[in-house]
Structure 1
Amino acid sequence: MGGGVAHRPRGAAVLTPSLHITEAESWVLDPLWRRGPMSFAALIAEVKAAQPWADATIKTLLGRLMRKNLVASERQDGRQLYRPLVTREAYVDAEIQALADRLFGGEVAALARRLAGGAT
């Protein structure tokens, strides 16, 4: 996924262990994190620039994210805009913790030591 300046969504929720974002869903969230609220057409274009998915696939993923309360839609200046309800930082933190849980008994410090090239 792309770099760039992270957008901090207002009212962003903290990810809980019960809320999992799939890799495909993260590709839909990525433009929202980078650019902030977007129209459906703009979101489709951004995702298609990174993934060769059909509009219907992106719409399905967006629907899942909305059912999980990770994305909201709102009418603004006559346009329907989509915005993230979870920050990229919360997503990254949850992914790191999940990896630490799976491989290092939940010890993030052990994961960090391993990534730094040290023994675990």
Structure 2
Amino acid sequence: MPQHRLLTEFGMGSSLRRQDYTEAAVRALKDALWHNSINLAELFGFEKEQMIIKVEIGVQQPDQVDVEVLKAVFPYGQPTVHVVKGGLDIPRPVGNPTVMANAALSVSFDMEPTQ
């Protein structure tokens, strides 16, 4: 069956002092997810577990992100997480930089095309 993207959401998260790229990414994901209450699966008659969730996270140090922690944010569905160079590291006068992460996620289902 062909996959059809039905929803795209965006979010931003930060780690103010700890330079924790994973935590900034988790906050970006939650920002994207918690801004809506869309019952997408029910709307199309699917189980929530059938949601195909593609996530792209942008941070300055992608290798510092624990992808398994990000996948655990989702209570259901089939998340795939890809971390790329992006976001921002904002220098501070003293201590670690503030880390900003960006998240983009899309939700798809395997669906029969409507004609």
Whether TM-score is above 0.5 comes out as no
Q: TM-score range by the shorter chain?
A: under 0.3
Structure number with greater CO (CA < 8 Å, separation at least 6) is 2
Is the helix fraction higher in 1 or 2? 1
TM-score where L is the length of structure 2: 0.28
